[in-house]
Amino acid sequence: MTVNTEQHQLWPKWLKRSQAHQYISVADNTFIKRYVQTGKVKAYPTEHGVRYDRDEIDEAVRHYYD
């Protein structure tokens, strides 16, 4: 996945779970099992619910096979 500034303007810095799996074009269960449960992406609790950092997701996708 190539990240450019145009894509970053379309997606907010902090993503809800439903946005996070759409951001990297995978199913919700795949996002949770392969990224969150393995510790590659952290869930951050906020007063508005759990959020995921877009930059952290980008880094996890870059190092998927590590």
Sorted by where each begins, the domain ranges of the chain are 12-62
12-62 to CATH, choices 1.10.357, 1.10.10, 2.30.29, 1.20.120: 1.10.10
Query: Which among 45, 65, 39 is positioned nearest to 56, based on CA atoms?
Result: 39
- Amino acid 3: pLDDT: 57
Measure the N-to-C terminal CA separation of the chain; round to a whole number of Å.
Answer: 16
What are the tens digits of pLDDT across the range 1-48? 555 666 667 899 999 999 999 999 999 999 999 999 999 999 999 999
If you average pLDDT over residues 37-62, what whole number do you get?
A: 95
Task: Kindly report the pTM of this predicted structure.
Answer: 0.82
